[in-house]
Amino acid sequence: MLDVNKKILMTGATSFVGTHLLHSLIKEGYSIIALKRPITEPTIINTLIEW
């Protein structure tokens, strides 16, 4: 199997569903670029997420 760079751009990452989806994607080995509103603080701190 090919080694593929698994990177995702995600919107809504700070919502209830988005937070759970982030956890699942991290477990699968994805690196994530997450967009958020300026007034929203992320609840997940992880080196695989770029806010």
- Could you read off the pLDDT of 20-47 as tens digits, one per residue? 998 899 899 898 888 877 777 666 666 6
How do the domains of the chain map onto residue ranges? Answer: 1-38
- Could you read off the pLDDT of 8-20 as tens digits, one per residue? 999 988 888 988 9
The radius of gyration of the chain's CA atoms, rounded to the nearest angstrom, is 11
pLDDT value at residue 9? 92
pLDDT value at residue 2? 55
Q: What is the pTM of this model?
A: 0.66
The pairing of beta strand 49-50 with beta strand 31-34 = parallel
pLDDT value at residue 21? 92
Cite the DSSP H helix spans in the chain: 16-27
Calpha distance 9→32 (Å, rounded): 6
